Structure 1
C-alpha cells in the first residue's frame, strides 16, 4: 500500500512539473510571437524608395514635412496632408496661398534652401525636385529626402507615379486613385476633342522680351503629347529651356493657337508678354486673328505643374482655349 501511495505521489509531482514546463513553453511561444509581430509592424511602417538621386528610407505618415516642389505640395494638400515648411521666399501659386500663413515655416526659396531653418524644424521628411537637386546631399543629412521629377516624354506615367508615391507614404492610396481617375477621364475627353481638329498650336515662353518655343516631349509638351493639340512645328527639339525663336518664326509657323507662358509675371511680378506679343508679325497669325493667343497661368505652368491641382487647371485652360 505504501508503495502505491509513493508511486501515486511521484506521478502527481511529475505531471505537475510537465504541466509547468508546458505552460512556460506556451508562454515563451506567445511572447516570441508577439515580439515578432511588433517587429513586422515596425518593418512595415518603413518604405524604401529609389529615385534618380539615390535611395531613401521613409517612415510612413511622417509628421513634420518640408516640401520644396509645388507639384508635390499641391498633391499632398489635395490629399489632406499639410506641409510644415515651404519655400515662401519664392512666389507661391495662388491656390497654395494658405501656406503664406505664419504657422507654416519659411524654408528659403526654390533655389536656395534655408538649411539652418530646416535643421531647427527637425523634419521627418523633405521633398525636393530639380531646382533643389544640388542640395540633396546636404538636405539628406538633416532628414530623409525624397527627390521627385517629371519625365516630360512620359508625362502621365511620371505624374501618376509621383502621386502614388506620395499617397503611399501617407497611406492615402484610395483617395489618390479617385483623384487620378477623375483627371484621366477629363483628359481623355480633352484629347479626343483636340485630336479630332486639324488646328495647330505653338507653345512659347516669354522671358524679358526673349521668346522660346516648346514642342513634344518638352517641359510644356503635355499640350501636344497628352491633351492632343497638333504641333505647328514638329521639329522643335525637346528641352527644359526651349528653343530660342523670333517673331518671324511665329509668323512663319502661323499657329491656330498660340499658347504663351509669361515668366516675368511670376518671377518679377510684372506681366509683360501681352505687350511683347502685340506686334505686326504675331497679329498676322491665325491665332491672333481668331482671338486664340492664349496667356496661360504661369503660376500653374511655370512655378508648379505635375500635381493633382495643377493637372486639373492645365487641362481646363486648354479645354477653354480650343472651344
Structure 2
C-alpha cells in the first residue's frame, strides 16, 4: 500500500515538474519572440521609419553616423567606400566591410545582397531614400545647420536607442557639452571676431551663422565678423578684398582640395598681401581646420570632440 501511494506521489511530482518546465520554455520562447520583434519608431526629416532593435548587417553612408557607431562599438556590414573615407575611419577600407557605392551613387544591387537590417543616410543620399527604403528600414541623420546641437544630439540618442547604447551615448554627450561650455566661457569674454571660409580650386566662400559651418558661431560662441552672410550649404563667394575689408581677428579655413585629394593648397591661396594684412594673419590666428573632419565627416561623437579642440586651440 505504501509503495502504491509513493508511486502515485512520484508520478504527480513528475507531472508538475514537466508542466513547470513546459511553462518556462513557453515563457522563454514568448519572451524571445517579443524581444526579436521589438522595434523603434524613428522620426526624421524624410519620414517615419520602424527600425528593429539591434539590427544586423547595418549599411552606413553618413560618415558622422559611422564614427558614432565606431565609438559605440557597433558592427557595420557595408560602407560607402566609393567616396573618400576620413583617415580616422580607415579601418573600414578592409575587405570585410562591403563597398556599397559612393556617397551620391549607392550600389542598390550590392546593398540588397547584404540583406541589411538598417540603412543610414544623410544629405547626399536623400534622393535615393525611397529606393533604399524598399530594401530595408532607412533613416536620415543629416545635420540641421540652423539647429546644430539639437540635430546632433537627436541623431546620437537615436543610434543609442536602436543599438541599446543609451548610457554610452549619454556619457559622451555630457563630455561634449562640458567641453562646449568650457569653450564658450572663453568666447563669451572675447570681443574678437572670426570668419569661416572654405577654399576649393583657388576660389573662396564664406560662411556665417546658421550655415554649414555656423556652429563655430552658433554653438562655440565665436563672434562673426559678418552676420549678414546668407545661410547656405556652399557659402557666399568672396574675394581677397572682402577678407581685407572685414579684417577678422580669427580666420578659420576648410581646405576642400586637401580633403578630396586636390592639388591646390589653401595656405598658398591665402598667401597674399591682402590676407596677410589682416589682424588674423598678423596675430597668427589663421586656423587651418582638419578638412577630413569638417568637410568629409562631422556630426558624429568623434568629430565633434575634435572640432571643439581645434576651435579652442585656434583662439588661444
**TM-score, normalisation: structure 2:** 0.89
Q: CA RMSD in A?
A: 2.0
Per-residue deviation, 1:269: 3.8
Q: Does the residue aligned with 2:50 lie in a helix, a strand or coil?
A: strand
Question: 1:322 maps to what in 2?
Answer: 315
Mapping of residues 135-214 of structure 1, within 5 Å: 135-214=128-207
Question: 2:119 maps to what in 1?
Answer: 126
Question: 1:93 maps to what in 2?
Answer: 86
Q: Say which is worse superposed, 45-54 or 183-192, in terms of deviation.
A: 45-54
- Listed as ranges, the gaps of 5+ residues in structure 2 are 1-15
- Distance in 1 separating the partners of 2:264 and 2:102: 21
Question: 1:245 maps to what in 2?
Answer: 238
Per-residue deviation, 1:82: 2.2
- Listed as ranges, the gaps of 5+ residues in structure 1 are 1-22
Pick the aligned partner of 1:300 from 293, 300, 304: 293
Q: Does the residue aligned with 1:112 lie in a helix, a strand or coil?
A: coil
- Distance in 2 separating the partners of 1:247 and 1:139: 44
- Distance in 1 separating the partners of 2:198 and 2:264: 12
- Structure whose CA Rg is larger: 1
- Distance in 2 separating the partners of 1:100 and 1:44: 32
- Distance in 2 separating the partners of 1:276 and 1:114: 37
Q: Say which is worse superposed, 89-98 or 124-133, in terms of deviation.
A: 89-98
Does the 8 A contact of 2:201 with 2:264 survive in 1? Answer: no
Alignment deviations for residues 90-128 of structure 1 (CA, whole Å, 9 cap, x no partner): 111111111111111111111111111111111111000
Do structure 1's residue 268 and structure 2's residue 261 form an aligned pair?
yes
Alignment deviations for residues 34-91 of structure 1 (CA, whole Å, 9 cap, x no partner): 5996498348711111212112111100111000000000011111112211111111
Pick the aligned partner of 1:310 from 286, 291, 303: 303
Question: 1:9 maps to what in 2?
Answer: none
Do structure 1's residue 234 and structure 2's residue 227 form an aligned pair?
yes
Alignment deviations for residues 220-275 of structure 1 (CA, whole Å, 9 cap, x no partner): 01111111111111111111111111111000000011111011111234352111
Does the 8 A contact of 2:49 with 2:138 survive in 1? Answer: yes
Alignment deviations for residues 16-41 of structure 1 (CA, whole Å, 9 cap, x no partner): xxxxxxx9xx99xx79x959964983
- Distance in 2 separating the partners of 1:175 and 1:60: 16
- Distance in 2 separating the partners of 1:120 and 1:44: 22
From the superposition, tell whether residues 117 and 44 of structure 1 become closer, same or farther in structure 2 (CA, over 3 Å).
closer
Does the 8 A contact of 2:202 with 2:264 survive in 1? Answer: no
